[in-house]
Amino acid sequence: MRHALTDVDHVTLCVSDLEKSIAFYRNVLGAKLRAQWATGCYFELGTLLSGTIGQRNTSQRRQSHCVFHDR
């Protein structure tokens, strides 16, 4: 069976410095910060409504990932 990807649902990136990552996404890529908490945030970047960036934490097992929609 062949699948055709139709769009990206969300992207999660684990980063070592949350504040520097927020500045990069806002100032360089023009992303809109939609929500922020101590260990992460949500961005809107074009049609990607739920880009998540999480602070890398050795006590938690968090992984970067990307989720697509298909038909």
Q: Which fold has domain 5-70?
A: 2,3-Dihydroxybiphenyl 1,2-Dioxygenase; domain 1 (3.10.180)
User: Domain ranges in the chain?
Assistant: 5-70
Using one digit for the tens of pLDDT, what is the confidence trace for 12-36?
Answer: 888 888 889 899 999 998 999 999 8
State the pLDDT confidence band at 11, using cuts at 50, 70 and 90.
confident
Task: Show the beta-strand stretches assigned E in the chain.
Answer: 5-15, 32-37, 40-45, 48-55, 65-70
Spatial CB neighbours of 54, under 8 Å, sequence gap ≥ 6:
12, 13, 14, 15, 18, 39, 40, 62
**Range in 7-11, 14-18, 35-39, 58-62 with the lowest mean pLDDT:** 58-62
Question: From CA 64, how far away is CA 53, in angstroms rounded?
Answer: 9
